[in-house]
Amino acid sequence: MATFGSACLILAFAVSLFGIGASLMGAQRGRADWIASGRRAVFALAGLATAAFVVLESMFLTDDFSNEVVVSHSSTTTPFFYKAAAAWSSQEGSLLLWLFLLSVWSSLVLVLVRRRLRDVTPYATAVLLGLGAFFAGLLVFLEHPFSTLPAAPSEGIGLSPLLRHPSMMIHPPMLYSGYTLFTIPFAFAIGALIVRRVDAEWIRSTRRFALAAWIFLGVGIILGARWSYAELGWGGYWAWDPVENASLMPWLVGTAFIHSVMIQEKRGMLKVWNVSLILGTGILCLLGTFLVRSGILQSIHAFGASTLGVPFITLIALLIFGSIALVVSRRDSLRSEHRLDSLWSREAIFLMNNIVLVGLCVVVWWGTFFPLISEAITGDPASVGPPWFDKYVVPLTILLVLLSGIAPLIAWRRSTLANARRNLLWPAVTAVVAFVALLLLGVGERPWALLMFVVGAFVLAAVAQEFWRGTVARRAMSGESPPRALLQLVRRNRRRYGGYIVHAGIAVLFIGVAASSAFQDAVDARLQVGQSAKVGEYTVTYQKPFADLVIARGDLERIDIGAVMRVEKDGKYVTTMRPSRGFYPSRAFVAFGPVGRFFEGEATSEVGLQAGRLRDVWVAMTPDINTLEPVIKEGNKVFTDAADELPPEMAGAALAQALRGITQRYVADPPPATFRMHVSPLVSWVWIGALLVLLGGITAAWPGGPDLATRKVKAGYAARVAQDLGRA
Amino acid sequence: MDPSRKRRIRLIVALTAAICLAGALMVTTFSAASPERIPSQLVASAEPGKTYKLGGKVVDGSIKREGDTMVFRVRDPKGRATVPVSYTGAVPDPFREGREVIVTVKKHGNTFVGERDSLVTKCPSKFQNEQKS
């Protein structure tokens, strides 16, 4: 199996190199058969990468401990569900996942464009295969997913318990799907630049890939945030951690791209800008993968330790210089077909949105890389924290959300004052009403949050107005019932109304972010049994401790020590929570002893969470197990002494008995425990907003719909009718 | 004024504005950033009252809880020097002895007092489970 997997990777590497050559030669000499060869190389790469990935997955699922990667990331006690995910928790597995996804999407795009873009495609194929060769090369020469151990151990180390959360199962594949999907328009942009065919055709052909990439990447980011909130025992969903920033940067520039390409499609403008954006997005995707996998930002010293440093930096540098050279040498072909008519037009608003998004990306980039920059300039590493990020990101985000509300209301080319008044009146009135109402509610003490709420209200009103007007107009024409008219309206203009749903979702999401970060009540308290703490309007009482031995497949998976917490508001019972901390056994028998190892391994929080429409109550608990130390030491001594005398089954039973005794002692005489308690308003709306964004994104990206030709005919007809009506 | 000249002026104004903004961003970052130090550097020179970002490994067996506060020692990632850190409040789940942490500290007397909520552990996506044994 391992040999087969390795063989697939070597073949994948070879096939990619061959395909690059075939595509480039075919394109240079106009040989269709060579170009076809290059295309088939992509399909072959997809087959080989899929086979290698399936082999690795099956090794994980069948606990094949002859494989080194399986041993260090999985174990027989790892639940089946998480064994599959363990494959990509490893460095090797995640690179293989990258290659697998890249090859699958590349094949898909080549099938979809087979009758179009005949001149661009060979070069795009070469770029995609170049990336394929890079990742296959890493897997063949530097990271070995199929390296075999001389003697297979009977048990593996297991998946880090922290990663055992459903969203962590899908978070990496989502991010990597986003990254790899963005390489498709990236590759076609390079192809279009090389052959100087820079009309909107490459954009149209890869539009759904860009949108899908944007959706996947967004889902990946949100799942990471959700995981952090529910699993890390810290209670936040965003920390400006370099790893989070790494995925946010391509998403920001990608967002700018999917907006500004509309201007090129409609008006033939901003060509330099569009190719630059997608080239930047593609490079940021690679940079993101590199940051996460190399750990360079945790410390510059990780660079030398990581085998990935030099190859990735070389590739990224090559792509940056290549991209700049391409854009500069093609600047004549990239001339705009039109000029910006007015600063009060949809193009202009889109342009501002683009500048804000790119500005955000620059801020995030600067903050993320500041430790390296600072070390390079002053010789002294220094870093910035969340307050620094917030200072720049908050105002820019508010501006961005505001623009997302204005843009749909403004006409292309030039908007008149009358038009603006007609379209902006009700959203503006809503915003003013919201402002006054919120001031009366006392929100004014947090001006940034207040501003975000007002802007959010404006956007929601603008989107609602667009849906309302569209539905009314449709009803007037077709006489359909309101729900049907609404549905048909969206179905017929999926791209437009999908976009509006996304805007509404973003507004909702940021209303949630603003409320939960500005108005959170947070208390850290050390409580004895029977004591209470007040968090905002809630009283939380530590009623009693509990302890469980969690058995999985006849083995002790972890020991949970937790607390039963009664939550009250104004003296009325609200809910009971059971936050706990799970202690996973350490494998260091010698260092911690046969009993101690059960308390000294990884520990994760199981938070108590009561989510609500208006607020979440969130409690995490850290038990103080230091008081158990004397008993654990005693246990270590007894079991070490008896190790040679007891038969294994009896030793196991006795150990279980002893652990039960220790945990019972904790429950009988509980020491005070540390609690972190949050009451955060509107957190749920962060997730609801994200779901709306997802829904809108899918609506806009869904394949099918009337094809371009019929739509053009229909639009021409509609324009004539409108003209006739105007004359009449 | 002819249109191309007007456009050029507009471009120059926009570029100047962008450069000024970027410059402001850069300059303010240097003053807002806290220097990153490893324990041996703090041992050598640490001014009381100044904020540092301390990075290093939590020394095995050094974690002691005193009521709400936790005291532990942080060691150079590849060295022997250690400094004592006292930290109040909840710590992230991955916090363990032997794991790399970053915490914002100020010097008070002989110990370094951690700022609330500033303690972070190395990112979980790089987690390997203990040493391969």
For B33, half-sphere exposure in the C-beta direction (CA atoms, 13 angstrom radius) is 25
Q: Is the pLDDT of residue A476 over 70?
A: yes
Q: Which of A160, A294, A300, A678 to mutate to test the interface with B (most CBs of B within 10 A)?
A: A160
**Secondary structure of residue A211 in the 3-state scheme:** helix
Judged by CB atoms closer than 8 Å, whether chains meet at B33 and A383 is answered as yes
pLDDT, position A168: 78
Average pLDDT over residues A714-721: 58
Residues of B in contact with A241 (CB under 8 A): 120, 123
pLDDT, tens digit, 9 for 90 and up, residues A194-219: 999 888 888 988 889 999 999 999 99
Q: Is the pLDDT of residue A628 over 50?
A: yes
Q: Has the ipTM of the complex gone over 0.90?
A: no
Average pLDDT over residues A40-58: 96
pLDDT, position A402: 95
Answer whether A598's CB lies under 8 Å from A578's CB: no
Q: Is the pLDDT of residue A153 over 80?
A: yes
pLDDT, position A107: 96
Asked which of A225-234, A568-577, A667-676 is least confident by mean pLDDT, the reply is A225-234
pLDDT, position B133: 27
Q: Which of B25, B125, B130 to mutate to test the interface with A (most CBs of A within 10 A)?
A: B125
CB pairs under 8 A between A and B: 125
Q: Is the pLDDT of residue A162 over 70?
A: yes
Output the six-digit token pair for A727.
Answer: 């004359």
pLDDT, position A138: 94
* Tokens 């025992």 sit on residue: A233
Alpha helices in B1-133, H assignment, sequence order: 3-32, 39-44
pLDDT, position A561: 93
Going from N- to C-terminal start, the domains of chain A cover: 1-159, 424-518+689-716, 528-682
- Chain A residue with the nearest C-alpha to that of B28: A388
pLDDT, tens digit, 9 for 90 and up, residues B22-61: 888 888 888 778 888 888 888 888 788 788 888 888 888 8
pLDDT, tens digit, 9 for 90 and up, residues A482-531: 899 999 999 888 999 999 999 999 999 999 999 999 999 988 888 999 99
Q: Is the pLDDT of residue A19 over 90?
A: yes
Which residue would you say has higher pLDDT here, A164 or A277? A277
pLDDT category of residue B125 using cuts at 50, 70 and 90: very low
Residues of B in contact with A586 (CB under 8 A): 130
For A80, half-sphere exposure in the C-beta direction (CA atoms, 13 angstrom radius) is 2
pLDDT category of residue B1 using cuts at 50, 70 and 90: low
Answer whether A229's CB lies under 8 Å from A238's CB: no
Angle at A45 between CA A39 and CA A50, to 5 degrees: 135
Average pLDDT over residues A67-92: 86
Residues of A in contact with B32 (CB under 8 A): 384, 387-388
pLDDT, position A625: 81
- Helices A309-329, A271-294: crossing angle, 10 deg rounding: 180
Mean pLDDT (chain A) is 88
Q: Is the pLDDT of residue A306 over 80?
A: no
DSSP H or E stretch at residue A332: none
pLDDT category of residue B126 using cuts at 50, 70 and 90: very low
pLDDT category of residue A426 using cuts at 50, 70 and 90: very high
Judged by CB atoms closer than 8 Å, whether chains meet at A526 and B67 is answered as yes
Query: What does each C-alpha distance from A147 to A65, A181, A667, B108 come to in angstroms?
Result: 11, 29, 46, 51
pLDDT, position A180: 96
Interchain contact B89–A (C-beta under 8 A): yes
Which residue would you say has higher pLDDT here, A49 or B97? A49
Output the six-digit token pair for A646.
Answer: 């007891």
pLDDT, tens digit, 9 for 90 and up, residues A582-595: 988 887 777 778 88
Output the six-digit token pair for A299.
Answer: 């410390």
Answer whether B107's CB lies under 8 Å from B43's CB: no
Judged by CB atoms closer than 8 Å, whether chains meet at A382 and B35 is answered as yes
